[in-house]
A and B are shown apart, each in its own frame.
Chain A
């Protein structure tokens, strides 16, 4: 068993090495005809881009992706510079007509995105041509290795029960060098994914066949991300099943998030695309789905007929009715720990890191300020977007709606939710985004705190203040500070993962939905002491 586990680790690391290594393989160039077709497809009006790109990428040289990327970006830049110079020139000459004409030749788009689209057509080599083999060496070995590493735990971990031995003694889970390595890997991954997609085009090739079989289209980097997400969640869900096999709440919850990720976030949207419908994840509620009310999205939905309108109505009903009503009955856990994709990744990939979340009062203060600021930000932005949509004006109070949307998308949508939100798992615990950033969580939190039947009941006087619950709360809630006072836990940030209840060695905590009355029960003297004293001290 141990041997299988160790071989698994080696195979996994081999897969990971191939996965990283494959980025450096392949050669990228285009023939003149390919380039011409491409330029025509894109409808570039620039008269110099063709020459620039020909110089850059129509070559017999075996360019690697990094050379290809920088050459392409330079070519686009050269073209745009050319017209910028003309604009400046006509500006000086006060030749407004000519100046105005130049703008149509400029090519818009982020440099790495332009380069990505072209690179996707230009690749040759292992990933592009021998995709099956390359997939096996990367994804295949990674999955097999990980499973070989995880599954022997059925035996190695011993009898079912809480298995937290050695968590704070391991470099992987106690912010040791393995944790820091994972941190660097994840952060780099997200930066490449969000900002330098052209550099990971080899990864995208790996999933082209899968994408074609589902949606009919070649893969984009977002398809790659979705597929990887599902794979990682599935593998790590198996780990969850083994680790918490004595706890049915955990088993069901894990199954649920996995189902919603694979079916709702991954398959259904891709299949919609196959039928020429808009890509939509039916469970992704505004304001987590922050661009739902953006003009382009509303236009697209309205333009796509029946289903588009249905999605529009559903999206609004989901946020305004379904979400809060469900939170009233079940607490925000129904979304955060049973349905949500971000939560799903946190509860599977992130589970080994949950103990690293900070429990200090200071971090709670920071959390409240940051998460509520994001909520305000998203609401203001949405107000701008809706105003723009209905009034057709691109500015509100002199601020461009587009600018705000761009800032949000960059700062919150990419940096916070991705780079920090997931990349920092190994350092700040697995719910960095859910705890500090997610505006939907903030909204659900209000409902949970002020109008809900959900609470974590504290079992009378049984707490021994051991601290397991607080340590393993991914949301950084100091559960013990309530439990040791005999007080129920009613906190807006609790995502109802149920781990505090699972790890408590004295059976003190139970997540449950019950009558609202008496849900919050401040106590000073705990159950078990003199009844008169309890009555005297606890009456408030």
Chain B
């Protein structure tokens, strides 16, 4: 019986632990500095917004861990001794391991802005950030205005959170349009508009110069780099991306880049030490993926995979087709396969796009303009079936096939208005084709 120690009780560490437990009776200890019990980081926003209580973000009841014989330990690991196979905690206590899984996740980026450590400046990553926000921005009397720096998924969530308590928000975004490094222009612009409809003061093309302090060391205002404008505020949210949370490994001898360097088997340079989730960095990117994939799903998949290796069935991390999802205020977003923004798409990739004339709905289908092969889809305001798109991607279907059978892929609730016919009409018109929509078929949908 080995002792498997996991640092980090996020989705990756916990998934690994669950699957190791399923397949073995190894001793498992999960360590976390943040909270004793696993919670869903993606749900933090809903706690502040009052949609849920913190306990609702915990996917397993507290008895689950004992019942499954998974030990939980709260504490901050400050040092890893790879020779003695021993961890040292901040309070100098130690614990030894046979195999170590590093699943320490990320931390918010700070780019050395003056004033970035003042009181009232915070990221939005850990539970402690939520508590800070509750302290500095409980309502719009205490927090007259908040400034958010960095226009990504966490930034827009933070804006939505603050708006739920009617706190005025200024949102600084470096890019010319929201998240347009990832989204095609049509979608990015729709989101720009939607952000403004929510009375968020969106500032595109805008960088932070510095954060100013009042006499008590608290945030007083920020200065904008481009114009020198000063904006008074009580809270500054730093949401300009995340980096792996691995400072404590600097002296350990484990090979580090931006994250913990791992091979396809999620092994580090040192035997019996593995890394998964946000903090793992592949030596070489897998397909068109990034070397560091800081999303929920990949953390989970790495956990599922590594558990096999630990339990004796050595398995490489081979994620399937890319998918992701998010929600921008009221607009749901799903993506399957690869759709790159105009800024980063390759020469052979072409778009077919459709947008609803009034509602916040649109899609972009990316395809190879030489072979018509379907590459990926972005949908906004329309839900799609993961399984169907996964299948089409595996089968290398052409875009015509995708359109013809688009009704099969719709995943909106019953009675919702469907738009497949309009979408296909637009494609036919633009491409002089004659695709007709096939009626939705349960048989095809559930064919395995």
Q: Give me the interface of A with B, judged by CB distance under 8 Å.
A: 158-162, 164-170, 246-249, 252, 355, 360-361, 457, 459-462, 464-468, 470-471, 480-481, 484, 498, 501-503, 505-507, 510-512, 514-515, 517-518, 524-533, 536-537
- A248-B415 contact given A460-B385, A460-B387, A506-B327, CB 8 Å threshold: yes
Are A514 and B446 within 8 A (Cβ)?
A: yes
Instruction: Judge if B435 is at the interface, Cβ distance under 8 Å.
Output: no
Are A462 and B446 within 8 A (Cβ)?
A: no
Q: Which residue of A lies closest to B411 (CB)?
A: A510
Q: B132 contacts which chain A residues (CB < 8 A)?
A: none
Are A507 and B319 within 8 A (Cβ)?
A: no
Are A467 and B57 within 8 A (Cβ)?
A: yes
Instruction: Judge if B43 is at the interface, Cβ distance under 8 Å.
Output: yes
A467 to B367 alpha-carbon distance, docked (Å)? 35
Are B43 and A528 within 8 A (Cβ)?
A: no
Are B323 and A461 within 8 A (Cβ)?
A: yes
A355 to B55 alpha-carbon distance, docked (Å)? 13
Are B414 and A460 within 8 A (Cβ)?
A: no
- A161-B330 contact given A467-B57, A507-B411, CB 8 Å threshold: yes
Are A467 and B413 within 8 A (Cβ)?
A: no
- A527-B386 contact given A167-B51, A466-B40, A533-B308, CB 8 Å threshold: yes
Q: A461 contacts which chain B residues (CB < 8 A)?
A: 297, 300, 323, 386
What is the distance, in angstroms, from B15's C-beta to the closest C-beta of chain A?
10
A141 to B389 alpha-carbon distance, docked (Å)? 55
What is the distance, in angstroms, from A80's C-beta to the closest C-beta of chain B?
55
A155 to B301 alpha-carbon distance, docked (Å)? 43
Instruction: Judge if B2 is at the interface, Cβ distance under 8 Å.
Output: no
- A511-B325 contact given A470-B56, A533-B304, CB 8 Å threshold: no
Q: B387 contacts which chain A residues (CB < 8 A)?
A: 459-460, 527
Q: A484 contacts which chain B residues (CB < 8 A)?
A: 59
- A467-B56 contact given A165-B51, A530-B305, CB 8 Å threshold: yes
Are A510 and B323 within 8 A (Cβ)?
A: no
A531 to B305 alpha-carbon distance, docked (Å)? 11
Q: Which of A162, A168, A514, A532 sits near B52, CB closer than 8 Å?
A: A168
Q: A360 contacts which chain B residues (CB < 8 A)?
A: 61
Q: Give me the interface of B with A, judged by CB distance under 8 Å.
A: 11, 19, 22, 40, 42-43, 46, 49-53, 56-59, 61, 164, 197-198, 296-297, 300-301, 304-305, 308, 313, 315-321, 323, 325-327, 329-330, 332, 334, 383-387, 390, 394, 411-417, 442-443, 445-446, 448
Query: Please, could you name 22 A-B residue pairs with CB atoms under 8 Å apart, sorted by A?
Result: A162-B330, A166-B164, A168-B53, A248-B417, A249-B415, A360-B61, A459-B411, A460-B386, A464-B40, A464-B42, A464-B296, A465-B40, A466-B46, A470-B56, A480-B59, A528-B319, A528-B390, A529-B305, A529-B320, A530-B318, A533-B305, A533-B308
Q: A526 contacts which chain B residues (CB < 8 A)?
A: 300-301, 304
A30 to B448 alpha-carbon distance, docked (Å)? 79
A503 to B442 alpha-carbon distance, docked (Å)? 25
A480 to B296 alpha-carbon distance, docked (Å)? 15
Are B413 and A514 within 8 A (Cβ)?
A: no
Q: Which residue of B lies closest to A526 (CB)?
A: B300
A167 to B443 alpha-carbon distance, docked (Å)? 41
Are B319 and A529 within 8 A (Cβ)?
A: yes
A521 to B313 alpha-carbon distance, docked (Å)? 24
Q: A533 contacts which chain B residues (CB < 8 A)?
A: 304-305, 308, 315, 318
Q: Which of B46, B315, B325, B329 sits near A462, CB closer than 8 Å?
A: B325
Other 8 A-B pairs with CB < 8 A, given A501-B413, A507-B384: A164-B50, A165-B50, A168-B53, A465-B11, A465-B43, A502-B413, A514-B446, A530-B316
Are B53 and A507 within 8 A (Cβ)?
A: no
Q: A248 contacts which chain B residues (CB < 8 A)?
A: 413, 415-417
What is the distance, in angstroms, from A69's C-beta to the closest C-beta of chain B?
44
Are A249 and B327 within 8 A (Cβ)?
A: no
Are A505 and B59 within 8 A (Cβ)?
A: no
Are A252 and B415 within 8 A (Cβ)?
A: yes
Q: Which residue of A lies closest to B379 (CB)?
A: A507
Are B22 and A514 within 8 A (Cβ)?
A: no
Q: B417 contacts which chain A residues (CB < 8 A)?
A: 248
Are B297 and A528 within 8 A (Cβ)?
A: yes
Q: A468 contacts which chain B residues (CB < 8 A)?
A: 43, 46, 51-52
8 closest A-B pairs (Cβ-Cβ)? A460-B386, A161-B330, A507-B383, A466-B43, A169-B50, A530-B318, A166-B50, A248-B415
What is the distance, in angstroms, from A487's C-beta to the closest C-beta of chain B?
13
Q: A527 contacts which chain B residues (CB < 8 A)?
A: 320, 386-387, 390
Q: Which residue of A lies closest to B22 (CB)?
A: A524
Are A524 and B46 within 8 A (Cβ)?
A: no
Are B51 and A168 within 8 A (Cβ)?
A: yes
Q: B304 contacts which chain A residues (CB < 8 A)?
A: 524-526, 529, 533, 537
A225 to B150 alpha-carbon distance, docked (Å)? 56
Q: A165 contacts which chain B residues (CB < 8 A)?
A: 49-51, 164
Q: Which residue of B lies closest to A502 (CB)?
A: B413
A90 to B207 alpha-carbon distance, docked (Å)? 102
What is the distance, in angstroms, from B57's C-beta to the closest C-beta of chain A?
5
Q: B318 contacts which chain A residues (CB < 8 A)?
A: 529-530, 532-533
- A528-B53 contact given A507-B332, A514-B445, A515-B442, CB 8 Å threshold: no
A160 to B305 alpha-carbon distance, docked (Å)? 41
Are A528 and B323 within 8 A (Cβ)?
A: yes
Are B330 and A159 within 8 A (Cβ)?
A: yes
Which has the most chain B C-beta neighbours within 10 Å: A164, A360, A507, A536?
A507
Q: Which of B50, B197, B325 sits near A507, CB closer than 8 Å?
A: B325
A532 to B316 alpha-carbon distance, docked (Å)? 11
Q: Which residue of B lies closest to A519 (CB)?
A: B446
A480 to B57 alpha-carbon distance, docked (Å)? 10
A173 to B40 alpha-carbon distance, docked (Å)? 23
Q: Which of A355, A467, A514 sits near B43, CB closer than 8 Å?
A: A467
A469 to B391 alpha-carbon distance, docked (Å)? 27
Are B50 and A506 within 8 A (Cβ)?
A: no
Which has the most chain B C-beta neighbours within 10 Å: A470, A502, A505?
A505
What is the distance, in angstroms, from A467's C-beta to the closest C-beta of chain B?
5
Which has the most chain A C-beta neighbours within 10 Å: B305, B308, B325, B448?
B325
Q: A501 contacts which chain B residues (CB < 8 A)?
A: 413
Are B297 and A530 within 8 A (Cβ)?
A: no
A467 to B330 alpha-carbon distance, docked (Å)? 18
Are B411 and A514 within 8 A (Cβ)?
A: no
What is the distance, in angstroms, from B133's C-beta to the closest C-beta of chain A?
14
Are B43 and A511 within 8 A (Cβ)?
A: no
Q: B11 contacts which chain A residues (CB < 8 A)?
A: 465
Q: A506 contacts which chain B residues (CB < 8 A)?
A: 325-327, 332, 334
Q: A528 contacts which chain B residues (CB < 8 A)?
A: 297, 301, 319-321, 323, 386, 390
Are A249 and B416 within 8 A (Cβ)?
A: yes
- A467-B442 contact given A524-B19, A529-B304, CB 8 Å threshold: no
What is the distance, in angstroms, from B61's C-beta to the closest C-beta of chain A?
6
Q: Which residue of A lies closest to B360 (CB)?
A: A159
A291 to B57 alpha-carbon distance, docked (Å)? 44
Q: Which residue of B lies closest to A362 (CB)?
A: B61
Q: B51 contacts which chain A residues (CB < 8 A)?
A: 164-165, 167-168, 468, 471, 503
Q: A466 contacts which chain B residues (CB < 8 A)?
A: 40, 42-43, 46, 57
Q: B319 contacts which chain A residues (CB < 8 A)?
A: 528-530
Are B43 and A517 within 8 A (Cβ)?
A: no
What is the distance, in angstroms, from A451's C-beta to the closest C-beta of chain B?
17
A464 to B42 alpha-carbon distance, docked (Å)? 7
Which has the most chain A C-beta neighbours within 10 Å: B22, B51, B59, B415?
B51
Q: Which of B316, B390, B416, B448 sits near A518, CB closer than 8 Å?
A: B448
- A530-B320 contact given A170-B50, A462-B325, A466-B57, CB 8 Å threshold: yes
Q: B164 contacts which chain A residues (CB < 8 A)?
A: 165-166
Which has the most chain B C-beta neighbours within 10 Å: A160, A480, A506?
A506
A528 to B300 alpha-carbon distance, docked (Å)? 10
A45 to B329 alpha-carbon distance, docked (Å)? 74
Q: B411 contacts which chain A residues (CB < 8 A)?
A: 457, 459, 507, 510
Q: Which residue of A lies closest to B40 (CB)?
A: A465
Are A460 and B445 within 8 A (Cβ)?
A: no
